[in-house]
Amino acid sequence: CNLLFVFTGRTLMKMGNELRCQCISTHSKFIHPKSIQDVKLTPSGPHCKNVEIIATLKDGREVCLDPTAPWVQLIVKALMAK
């Protein structure tokens, strides 16, 4: 089953340092876990007041996920359990 997704989550280009938020918007619609290659969780801190969850998709795109979306929370919980 092929699914088409429209992605609104964006990441800022990395400029040699990560002293600011990487996500300028987040994506909350469901992305099938089979489409996700990697997930990076960055806690809030002096660099950014937001918790940032960046998924790298199998096609190489990076998508900022909404940390309040229930499906995102399930993925993070599953990853933390590993």
Q: Which CATH architecture has domain 10-81?
A: Beta Barrel (2.40)
pLDDT at 43: 92
Nearest by Cα to 22 from 9, 35, 33: 9
27 DSSP β-pair partners: 65
Torsion, Cα 10 5 39 76, to 10 degrees, reads: 110
Q: What is the pTM assigned to this prediction?
A: 0.73
- Write out the chain's pLDDT in tens, 82 residues: 333 333 444 444 444 456 789 999 999 999 998 999 999 999 999 989 999 999 999 999 999 999 999 999 998 898 888 7
The count of other CB atoms within 10 Å of the CB of residue 35 is 14
Q: Between the CA of residue 7 and those of 11, 18, 53, what are the distances in Å? A: 11, 23, 15
- Domain range summary for the chain, segments of one domain joined by +: 10-81
